[in-house]
Amino acid sequence: MRTAGIHYATARRIRNLLNRIGMEPTFIFTGGVSNNIGMKLALKELLGVEIGETKMDPTYAGALGASIYAHKYNAIGYIGVNAESNLQSVK
């Protein structure tokens, strides 16, 4: 199956961002675009990784993460520069 140029263009941008920050060996693709098979294939090809599956609907993963973040923010107030250490204290 061939994917469209827009898939490859977007996948290249994602690859360039991931090259800056690094990537874990397990790659999970979430959000509404994760249902787009062309995008999934372009990422798989350009990143050279298998895309893992989740038990959760990947469309809602970002929303769930945002709600957890909001809950922690509400519990401790402004998260700011030391976000990681502040969030660790809430766990």
The enclosing domain of 13 has a CATH number of 3.30.420.40
Within this chain, do residues 23 and 46 fall inside the same structural domain, yes or no?
yes
Within this chain, do residues 7 and 41 fall inside the same structural domain, yes or no?
yes
Q: How far apart are CA 61 and CA 49, in angstroms?
A: 20
Name the residue type at position 19. Answer: N
- Domain tally, the chain: 2
Domain that holds residue 39: 1-53
Span 14-55, pLDDT tens digits: 999 999 998 888 788 888 888 899 999 999 999 998 888 888
Is 42 exposed, middle or buried (CB count within 10 Å of its CB: 0-12, 13-18, 19+)? Answer: buried
- pLDDT: is 47 or 74 the higher one? 47
